[in-house]
Chains A and B, each alone.
Chain A
Amino acid sequence: MKRILLAISLFLCAGQLFAQSGFMQANNAYSQGNYAEAISGYEQLISEAQAREALTDDYAEVYYNLGNAYYKQGELGQSILAYERALRLKPRMKDAKQNLQFVEQRITDRIDDTRSFFLQDWLIALRNQWKESTWTWLSIVLFTIMLAGLLLFLLGREATVRKIAFHCAWISLLLSLYTGINAGTLHSRDTYREEAIIMQGVVNAKSSPDRSGTDLFQLHEGTKVRITDTLGDWSEVRVAQWEGWIETRMLERI
Chain B
Amino acid sequence: MRKRVAFILLALCNVWLCRAVDFRAVGPSQVPANQPFQIQYIVDDKGDDIQPPSMPGFELLAGPFTSTSSSFSFINGKRTSTYQKTFTYTYLVSKPGTYTIGAATINVGGKKYRSNGLKISVVREEEEPNSRPASAREERQERARQQERPQEASIFIRTILSKTHVHEQEPLTLSYKLYFIGADNVQLAGVTKMPDFTGFLKQENDAEQPSAHVETYNGRQYNVATIYKIQLYPQHSGEITITPAQFEVVYTIPGAGQDPFGQLYGYQTHKTLKAPAVTVHVDGLPQENKPKQFSGGVGHFTMTPTISGTEVSANEPITLRLDITGNGNMKLLKTPEVNWPEGFDVYDPKVNNSYQNTDNGMTGTKSIEYLAIPREPGEYTLPPVTLSYYDSETGGYRTLSTPSYTLRIKRAQKNADGGQVSDYSQEDIKQLATDIRYIHTDEIQPAADGTAKPSSIRTGSAGWWACYLVPLLIALCVLIGMRKYIRENADLTRVRYRKANKVARKRLKSAKQLLTAGQPTAFYEEIERAAVSYLSDRLTIPTAELTKDTISELLRSRNVPEELIQETQALLSEAEFARYAPSAEQDMQTLYERTEQLINHLEEQKL
A-to-B contact residues, CB < 8 Å: 20-21, 23-24, 27, 30-31, 45, 49, 52-54, 56-59, 61-62, 64-65, 68-69, 71, 95, 98-99, 102-103, 131-133, 136-137, 140, 143-144, 147-148, 150-151, 154-155, 157-159, 183-184, 187
Contacts and interface: CB of A to CB of B under 8 A. Distances in A.
A88 to B, nearest CB: 12
Contacts of B490: 154
Contacts of A20: 446
A99 B436 contact: yes
A54 B449 contact: yes
Contacts of B444: 23, 58-59, 61-62
Given A21-B443, A54-B447, A102-B436, A154 B457 contact: no
Contacts of A68: 436-439
A56 B453 contact: yes
Given A53-B452, A136-B459, A143-B468, A58 B486 contact: no
B431 to A, nearest CB: 13
Contacts of A23: 443-444
B497 interface: yes
B482 A187 contact: no
A58 B478 CA distance: 43
B185 to A, nearest CB: 71
B484 to A, nearest CB: 12
Contacts of B443: 21, 23-24
A56 B439 contact: no
Contact of A95 (B440, B445, B458, B485): B440
A183 B459 CA distance: 7
A49 B493 contact: no
5 contacts: A53-B449, A56-B446, A58-B444, A64-B440, A157-B489
B449 to A, nearest CB: 5
Nearest to B456: A133
Contacts of A144: 471
B468 A52 contact: no
B69 interface: no
A154 B436 contact: no
Interface in B460-493: 460, 464, 467-468, 471-472, 474-475, 478-479, 482, 485-486, 489-490, 493
B449 A137 contact: no
Interface residues of B, number: 43
A36 to B, nearest CB: 15
Contacts of B419: none
B362 to A, nearest CB: 40
B486 A54 contact: no
A20 B435 CA distance: 30
A187 B459 contact: yes
Contacts of A49: 446-447
Contact of A151 (B434, B442, B455, B475): B475
Contact of A187 (B434, B437, B458, B485): B458
B442, B446, B458 interface centre (most CB from chain A within 10 Å)? B446
Contacts of B435: 102
Secondary structure type dominating chain B contacts:
loop
A147 B453 CA distance: 28
B438 A151 contact: no
B479 to A, nearest CB: 7
Contacts of B485: 155
B54 interface: no
5 closest A-B pairs by beta carbon, nearest first, are A187-B459, A65-B439, A54-B447, A147-B475, A58-B444
A24 B464 CA distance: 37
A137 B458 CA distance: 10
B472 A147 contact: yes
A95 B471 contact: no
A30 B438 CA distance: 10
Nearest to B451: A54
Contacts of A59: 444
Contacts of B486: 154-155
Contacts of A140: 467-468, 471
Nearest to B441: A27
A143 B540 contact: no
B458 A143 contact: no
Nearest to B470: A144
Contact of A61 (B442, B455, B460, B493): B442
B450 interface: yes
Given A61-B442, A155-B489, A71 B459 contact: no
B495 to A, nearest CB: 13
A52 B437 contact: no
B453 A52 contact: no
Contacts of B437: 68, 95, 98-99
A102 B433 CA distance: 12
A133 B457 CA distance: 5
A39 to B, nearest CB: 12
Contacts of B456: 131, 133
A191 B444 CA distance: 26
B544 to A, nearest CB: 15
Contacts of A24: 441, 443
B452 A103 contact: no
A157 B494 CA distance: 10
B464 A56 contact: no
Contacts of A54: 446-452
A20 B450 CA distance: 18
B390 to A, nearest CB: 28
Contacts of A159: 493, 497, 540
Contact of B457 (A65, A137, A157, A184): A137
A58 B452 CA distance: 11
Contacts of A31: 439
Contacts of B459: 132, 136, 183-184, 187
Contacts of A132: 458-459
A53 B450 contact: yes
B389 to A, nearest CB: 28
Contacts of B446: 20, 45, 49, 54, 56, 58
A78 to B, nearest CB: 14
A81 B457 CA distance: 25
A121 to B, nearest CB: 24
B436, B471, B472, B474 interface centre (most CB from chain A within 10 Å)? B436
A57 B444 CA distance: 10
A150 B437 CA distance: 49
Contacts of A61: 440, 442, 444
A40 to B, nearest CB: 15
Given A57-B453, A61-B440, 19 more contacts: A23-B443, A24-B441, A24-B443, A45-B446, A52-B447, A52-B450, A53-B450, A53-B452, A54-B447, A54-B450, A65-B439, A68-B437, A98-B436, A99-B436, A102-B435, A140-B467, A140-B468, A151-B478, A154-B489
A46 B285 CA distance: 46
Contacts of B475: 147-148, 150-151
Nearest to B607: A159
B479 A154 contact: yes
A96 to B, nearest CB: 9
Contacts of B452: 53-54, 56
